[in-house]
A and B are shown apart, each in its own frame.
Chain A
């Protein structure tokens, strides 16, 4: 057994996925709580699962208060790969679903700010997350929100001949260019997902909840209007455009009043920011830098301090 392995204890199993088990444990040095993600190597004939490799690769790169921290990596006696992560007891999905918690505008602002800061750190290091959703945004005991699960992460591709798979991101948070099968995409897909999460924090239910991939595009256009070739140039060249039936009926884009009526609690600046993050054309969509510079964040009320955010007791 490696020296690193002896530093940590595994105490209680708290979760199990297809390729990993998660334990809660302690750091023997300072008695702090940690989480150990044990990746079952024997399950894979061709070696380690891709997502485990991606997770280690990207988490090693990044150090940011709003990105989950990878403390150590070791191989246990049975040959399983173990990732020692920060202990994060809650996630945003749990908090959004708990209807007994009341969110103020300052709370939503604080969460959105932490999400954007975390994702900005990824994009700044040329990493696409590709699976942003409330259940992947973990909450530390001190209220800090951390972007986690880089199992679908990827380095940004700037090369026109390098193709990426469009089947990424959980359906409800998937950007329209992915739904149309784009093989080349940018950080804008993560921004779309953040926009959806922002909307979900205000509505307390998922904003665009399609039952199938096919229906997702329909719902997206129904809610935000079918884009015209002027609004989204060259979209007809995307692989999925001709196969899609979503363009048969042209839905009008919602007016500002209709958006305001749906997001009744949103301030003017909040709505402007939301609209800039869920723009159909990825090239016109806000970047993390633009979103963070939005007057929404500097406007009153100031974002809540992480410690004051609503949490489950």
Chain B
């Protein structure tokens, strides 16, 4: 372990072709998320260019593909492994907080994901296999949902990005506008001063000229402020529209608050309980006519009919039913 660490720092050698960074400083090492064995780029090209092949490491033998090789990002292989498995698990388990009825369930979900990631990256080969099977099984059974979530998240990210860009543009324009306002103001003041001096020099009534100049300056700054506010309003509106579009997108993706009820309140709630067997001479003859069975009859069915005839509507108040037709029997107690 220690020697490996030292050699990794100074002189890395590809265990397959034995060439190292000492001779070839531009050498790149690649690894595969199947077994995380480091192989130099040349070797990868050489071994896997003709298609999938087993890992050249002694005793590994995992079948690898050229496409799946990547450069190592983290020095620690453990971290690299965990990041990889995290990416893979998160791609499958991609629900969001809003998909859960309560924060507790969402937290349980997150914890389950962490357990899976830990088992895959740190577990024994057996637990690792088991966990990967679980992830695969989940992926298979929730294909549609995962796709929906991915699409939704992508659309959300897009809308958010659009909103951010618009917001930035708005701020930039406002900044520009206020800068321009200041400039104009300064320029105008300078001009006014010049004019005042000139008019004073030409001998007009100084008081009147000063007042006139002050008025004009006021008017001018008022106009600019109005323009600024107008612009502010305009950009604010634009960003509101963008935000609304964003909200609508979220809205549409939101699941209804009430859970799905298959029967919509119209469910059997009769007041008798059927026993598994009865003494009934009528039913004793049942087997004599086999066409009954073929047509869908069973002893259970016949007995159910008899029980229903006997106990049906015992708990129903006809007067209440008459007042409110359609009221379910179980609601009238």
Contact = CB atoms under 8 A, between A and B. Distances in A.
B290 interface: yes
A185 B325 contact: no
A130 interface: no
B256 A185 contact: no
Interface stretch (A82-90, A120-128, A212-220): A120-128
Contact of A64 (B285, B290, B305, B326): B326
A286 B266 CA distance: 18
B291 interface: yes
Interface residues of B, number: 34
B271 to A, nearest CB: 14
Contact of B293 (A120, A283, A300): A283
B297 A160 contact: yes
A188 to B, nearest CB: 5
A184 B291 contact: yes
Given A120-B266, A124-B268, A158-B305, A283 B296 contact: yes
A6 interface: no
B8 to A, nearest CB: 48
B260 A239 contact: no
Interface string B285-297: 1100111111111
Nearest to A285: B296
Interface in B2-45: none
B23 to A, nearest CB: 57
Contacts, number: 100
Nearest to A187: B296
Contacts of A282: 294-296
Interface string B304-322: 1110110000000000000
Given A121-B266, A160-B282, A238 B294 contact: yes
Contacts of B256: 302
Interface string A220-261: 000000000000111111110000000000000000000000
Closest 10 CB pairs of A and B: A158-B305, A282-B296, A63-B326, A182-B295, A237-B290, A292-B262, A186-B296, A234-B290, A184-B295, A234-B293
Given A117-B266, A182-B295, A160 B302 contact: yes
Interface string A27-47: 000000000000000000000
Interface residues of A, number: 44
A160 B145 contact: no
Nearest to B291: A237
A282 B296 CA distance: 5
Contacts of B297: 160, 184, 186
A183 interface: yes
7 contacts: A113-B262, A158-B309, A160-B285, A183-B291, A188-B296, A282-B295, A300-B144
B288 to A, nearest CB: 9
B264 interface: yes
Interface in B242-269: 255-256, 260, 262-264, 266, 268
A297 B262 contact: yes
Secondary structure of the A contact surface, majority rule: loop
A205 interface: no
Interface string A135-167: 000000000000000000000111110000000
A237 B305 contact: no
A177 interface: yes
Contacts of A267: 144
B279 interface: no
Contact of B301 (A186, A233, A281, A302): A186
Given A158-B302, A158-B305, A302-B255, A64 B292 contact: no
A2 interface: no
A293 interface: yes
Most buried by A among B263, B289, B302: B263
A159 B309 CA distance: 11
A238 B291 contact: yes
Contacts of B289: 160, 237
Contact of B294 (A65, A113, A232): A232
A120 B263 contact: yes
A100 interface: no
Interface in A45-70: 63-65
A177 B305 CA distance: 20
Contact of A233 (B144, B263, B294, B308): B294
Interface in A177-213: 177, 180, 182-186, 188-189
Contacts of B282: 160
Interface string B97-112: 0000000000000000
B134 interface: no
Contacts of A185: 295-296
B260 A298 contact: yes
A302 B255 CA distance: 9
Contacts of B184: none
Given A64-B266, A234-B291, A300 B145 contact: yes
Contacts of A180: 294
A162 to B, nearest CB: 10
Contact of A237 (B286, B294, B301, B308): B294
A289 interface: yes
